[in-house]
A and B are shown apart, each in its own frame.
Chain A
Amino acid sequence: GAVVSQHPSWVICKSGTSVKIECRSLDFQATTMFWYRQFPKQSLMLMATSNEGSKATYEQGVEKDKFLINHASLTLSTLTVTSAHPEDSSFYICSATPRTRNYDEQFFGPGTRLTVL
């Protein structure tokens, strides 16, 4: 149980275009979903926290107008990278916390590798 999927697993786009990444909790309802960014050989950096039906909370230094997060339901959150540039190329990972858990465990998706040309 507690499986999280991401789509697509990899994407290549041209500079200036927008890219949407989906994160789904397949067998549970998620009260909260998180979006992380990971550069090569580095740790995960939290970008934002989203709760279903409310606006996402962005970490300091993350541009909310560039990284649009929509948490439309208890099983789906999307991250849209708007007007992507080569420096946005990275590995994006989402995670979700089941609403039935009483502690802070996050289940991670497999990640999406974004390459901006």
Chain B
Amino acid sequence: AQSVTQLDSQVPVFEEAPVELRCNYSSSVSVYLFWYVQYPNQGLQLLLKYLSGSTLVESINGFEAEFNKSQTSFHLRKPSVHISDTAEYFCAVSRAQKLVFGQGTRLTINP
């Protein structure tokens, strides 16, 4: 069985500071990895995904994540956050069409 662990339930940071949201997964086979963002009272939006190839993946709004097979991690990073990045972030692993989500990390940006 696969599982996803997001190590931090809440991460408060100041605006323009860097941030890392941690995600570890357990799987004995190759997987696809995703980060989704959820703004209040909305559905999920795909932030970025790792399918194969380069282990560093980037999104259009400055986030990036690095797939580390040896550490079974897929941490999300942004060098400088903005107030608008305040949201809930979910890491997910896919296998046989199903998505298994982590518990979520609430990112709060303070001015």
Contacts and interface: CB of A to CB of B under 8 A. Distances in A.
Contacts of B32: 103-105
A7 interface: no
Contacts of A106: 99
B20 to A, nearest CB: 20
A22 B16 CA distance: 40
Contact of B97 (A6, A44, A93, A97): A97
Interface residues of A, number: 23
Interface string B34-46: 1010000111111
A75 interface: no
B101 interface: yes
A104 B97 contact: yes
B101 A32 contact: no
A38 B44 CA distance: 11
Interface in B69-111: 90, 94-99, 101-104, 106
Interface residues of chain A: helix, strand, loop or mixed (majority): strand
Interface size, B (range): 20 to 34
B17 interface: no
B90 A110 contact: no
A100 interface: no
Contacts of B103: 42-43
Contacts of A107: 46
B104 A46 contact: no
B93 to A, nearest CB: 10
A96 to B, nearest CB: 11
A109 interface: yes
A-B CB proximity, top 8 nearest: A104-B94, A108-B43, A108-B44, A110-B43, A111-B43, A43-B101, A43-B103, A44-B101
Interface of A: 4, 6, 32, 34, 41-44, 46, 49, 93, 95, 97, 103-111, 113
Given A6-B43, A49-B97, A111-B43, 7 more contacts: A34-B99, A44-B44, A46-B99, A97-B97, A104-B98, A108-B36, A110-B42
